[in-house]
């Protein structure tokens, strides 16, 4: 298993971690299998989406913040209920096929770490299962 750090700079943010994940796939030497990306935080998640136009991630964050506002009479005393809800909606893991030592992603796809309670120092775990 591999681990790497992610530093976020705002309350909500989508960070493209594709190159970091690919680095570990390459270092593993696995030519064919599955790569699992797991985020061990309750207020952050991971998703796959478009990386060609930065407006896509801005639009995603704008809409998720509209759907789950930061302040909405939540009971959780830490004041970050919205972040917990958003992380649960996005999920904490993604599985990506590996072929010829490369992540199999669509032409415009990237793997995004999704921060919902930042800024913070976070981490991601990567497990590569050979086939």
Residue 70 CB contacts under 8 Å (≥ 6 apart), including other chains: 11, 82
Range of the domain at 107: 2-130
Element (H, E) at 124: strand 121-130
CA distances from 84 to 10, 49, 64, 69, 80 (A): 16, 21, 12, 12, 7
Q: Which of 114, 95, 126 is nearest to 41 (CA)?
A: 114
Residue 89 CB contacts under 8 Å (≥ 6 apart), including other chains: 45, 64, 68
Residue 37 CB contacts under 8 Å (≥ 6 apart), including other chains: 17, 21, 46, 93, 94, 95, 96, 111, 124, 125, 126
Count: domains in the chain = 1
User: Which DSSP symbol is given to 11?
Assistant: S
Q: What's the confidence (pLDDT) of residue 124?
A: 98
Residue 12: CATH number of its domain:
2.60.120.460
Q: What's the confidence (pLDDT) of residue 87?
A: 98
Per-residue pLDDT of the chain (131 residues; tens, 9 = 90+): 999 999 999 999 999 999 999 999 999 999 999 999 999 999 999 999 999 999 999 999 999 999 999 999 999 999 999 999 999 999 999 999 999 999 999 999 999 999 999 999 999 999 999 99
Q: What's the confidence (pLDDT) of residue 97?
A: 98
Q: What's the confidence (pLDDT) of residue 82?
A: 98
At 110 the three-state DSSP class reads strand
Q: What's the confidence (pLDDT) of residue 128?
A: 98
Residue 117 CA to residue 88 CA, distance in Å, equals 13
């Amino acid at each position: 298993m591999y681990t790497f750090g992610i530093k976020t700079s705002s309350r909500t943010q989508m960070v493209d971690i594709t190159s970091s994940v690919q680095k570990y796939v390459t270092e593993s030497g696995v030519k064919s299998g599955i790569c699992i990306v797991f985020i061990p935080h309750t207020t952050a998640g991971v998703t796959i989406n478009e990386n060609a136009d930065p407006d896509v991630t801005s639009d995603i964050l704008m809409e998720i913040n509209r759907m789950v506002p930061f302040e909405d009479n939540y009971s959780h005393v830490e004041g970050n209920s919205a972040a917990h809800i958003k992380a649960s909606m996005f999920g904490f893991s993604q599985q990506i096929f590996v072929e010829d030592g490369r992540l199999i992603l669509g032409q415009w796809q990237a793997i995004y770490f999704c921060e919902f309670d930042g800024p913070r120092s976070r981490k991601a775990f990567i497990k590569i299962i050979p086939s």
